[in-house]
Amino acid sequence: MPADLPGVVRLRDRREALTLRTILIAARGLFAERGYARTPIRLIATEAGVAPQTIYAHFGSKAGVLAGLVDLLDEEAGLPDLMAEAEGMTDPARLLGLLARACRQVRERCGDIVRILGSGAAVDPDIAVTQAEGQRRNRLGVELVVQRIRDAGHRVHPGAVDIAVALMSAGVHDSLVLDAGWSPEDYQAWLEETLVTAVLTG
């Protein structure tokens, strides 16, 4: 059978996607358990059941694997689904509510990845670069929501993006949920209400 038939290509793509996901899940567990610096590629390969060369072929380096975790975070936190839900939405409170839900889902489903990036960024330049990319994506999402609110004719605080990014930070979440014992539901409700109060000026 020719290798370029659509069914063969789709099957190969699915296998490749499954291999990439398996590698990322293995790396995620090992980075959380051992730390980034003390996790060699060969150990990730063993855990994932692949050859080290497979990891290098797909990701280029351990830093590339780490960068892949940011993509995994987006997927596992359901961010593409929330973006799709926001399509055509113009109500400012509902849009800010989606931001609050996205923030909760990132912390609940991928808090380990956020912690890996946060704890390692100060000591490892690879982690710092990857953390910066995650922060850039987060800020871009906030900018898109704030711009959509503006485009719908609503007034927003001049520093709306900065305010929202600060309120959605890991430090605020951890202070309320981990330290003060708030439930994720209470955190999301507070964040939504606070975003509406702080961002909207009209």
Query: C-alpha distances in angstroms, 167 versus 88, 110, 173, 180?
Result: 25, 18, 8, 16
pLDDT score recorded for residue 123? 78
User: Given the structure tokens 């990701």, which residue do they identify?
Assistant: 59
pLDDT score recorded for residue 6? 57
The residues pairing with 21 across neighbouring beta strands, listed in sequence order, are none
Going residue by residue through the chain (202 aa), what tens digit of pLDDT does each one get?
455 555 555 667 788 889 999 999 999 999 999 988 899 999 999 999 999 999 999 999 998 998 899 888 888 999 889 888 888 889 999 999 999 999 999 999 999 998 888 878 887 888 898 889 889 999 999 999 999 999 999 999 999 999 999 999 999 999 999 999 999 999 999 999 999 999 998 5
22, 12 in Cβ contact below 8 A? no
What is this structure's pTM? 0.82
pLDDT score recorded for residue 1? 43
Q: In whole angstroms, what separates CA 26 from the centre of its chain?
A: 17
- Cα 31 from Cα 79, distance rounded (Å): 23
CA torsion, ordered 75, 79, 81, 83, to nearest 10 deg:
-140
138, 79 in Cβ contact below 8 A? no
48, 22 in Cβ contact below 8 A? yes
83, 95 in Cβ contact below 8 A? no
pLDDT score recorded for residue 88? 84
Collapsing DSSP states into helix, strand and coil, what is residue 4? coil
